[in-house]
Amino acid sequence: MRPFVYSRVATAEQAVARAAVPADTVESATRAPAQFLAGGTNVVDYFKLACWDAVELVDINDLRDEHGAIEARPDGIRFGALVGMRQAAEDPDVVRDYPVIAEALRQSASQQIRNVGTLAGNVLQRTRCGYFRDVDYDECNKRAPGSGCAAIGGPNRGHAVLGVGDRCIASYPGDLAPALVALDARVETLGPRGGRTFPLRTLHTGAERPEVETILAPGELITGFLVPAGPHTRRSTYVKVRDRESYEFGLATAAVALDLAPDGIVRDARIALGGGLTYRPWRADAAEGSLRDQPLTEETAAAAGRLALEGAVTHGDNDYLPELGARTVARALLRAARMVDVT
């Protein structure tokens, strides 16, 4: 275990001040010397594996009274950043009105981890790419920019096929973020320059610079998530395909939300992908557009699935993923269409 400094703060402002760095010294929160600690289920792993540059942990658990509540309101639902995974998965308003969120969380990790993990921590978890986590591999552009990507020429069965590049094909492992992206969630933050709110789909960055994983600045703290209400939220579901039924990361995941007319015509469709399919949480805009004003049938669902995986890039062991991903999307769409009592 790498030695580190531990500090504890009582307010969000103190957390930001503790984790901030002088301007222009560190470009992104990913590589900042101080990192926030809440549930710690990811952070401890990275220190044990020595695949992280952080030298200080800033404990923000005392912020739970202020940032640990769920607020359901007519215009949507707000989650504090420190809401627990289990807390959100079992909340009656979430289960009834935003089932895709509850389902995604229930399929994440184990019950023990859900008991301590937080929503912000889950969204910000880093890749499970074995080449990143094992420092014996020298070629990893996430750990050592410019060193290469060992996964491209090595075993890569669970590596991404959408949003990848010639610098990195790591997959994004989280379940919650695709569900939130499908529902057009927004992120609230507090940073050295004050607060801001932005779409969650812009939080994670692309594979052009693997060492920069989010748009968060050093010291910028996520304080909450805003999910707008809409006619599609109740008819929403999450499908996760994995090697085993529980405590396993997804090979292909799809979050879907539908607004269907009484005659079965699609008024609106939301589709987001994750798991082994994508480098970052991925919104399938073209697939959504193909469904609008069309009946939701096995044929239209299958066509949307194929569109969602259009442009996929494979590297050998993961050649099966585009087909698996397309079928996963179609399965999620048909499951959502069969949902009842959604009014």
pLDDT of 330 strictly over 80: yes
Please give the structure tokens belonging to residue 229: 């209400």
Per-residue pLDDT, 42: 84
- Which CATH fold would you assign to the domain 66-123+176-228? 3.30.465
Tell me what the mean pLDDT of segment 197-218 comes to: 97
> Given phi > 0 = left and psi -120 to 50 = alpha, else beta, which region is 196?
beta
Nearest-5° angle of CA 9, CA 10, CA 14?
A: 60
How many angstroms from the chain centroid is the CA of residue 140?
Answer: 21
Confidence of residue 48 (pLDDT cuts 50, 70, 90): confident
Decide if 123 contacts 29 (C-beta within 8 A). no
The whole-angstrom separation of Cα 185 and Cα 272 is 12
- The pLDDT-based confidence of 153 (bands split at 50, 70, 90) is very high
Q: 275-317 pLDDT, tens per residue? A: 999 999 999 999 999 999 999 999 999 999 999 999 999 999 9
Q: Domain boundaries in the chain?
A: 66-123+176-228, 236-338
- pLDDT, residue 45, reads 83
Give the whole-number percent of the chain exceeding pLDDT 70: 99
For the segment 148-176, the average pLDDT, to the nearest whole number, is 97
Residue 212 buriedness (CB in 10 A; 0-12 / 13-18 / 19+): middle
CA–CA dist 234, 18 (Å, integer): 40
Say yes or no to pLDDT of 342 above 60.
no
pTM: 0.96
| pLDDT surpasses 70 at 343 | no
Residues whose CB falls within 8 Å of the CB of residue 227, separated by 6 or more in sequence, listed in order: 76, 77, 78, 79, 98, 101, 180, 183, 184, 185, 233
CA distance 134 to 45: 11
**In whole numbers, what is the pLDDT of the chain averaged over residues?**
95
For domain 236-338, the CATH class is alpha beta
Distances (CA, A) of 194 to 34, 172, 199, 224: 18, 28, 17, 14
The residue to which tokens 């075993």 are assigned = 155
Which tens digit of pLDDT belongs to each residue from 86-101? 999 999 999 999 999 9
Show the tokens assigned to 20. 């901030």
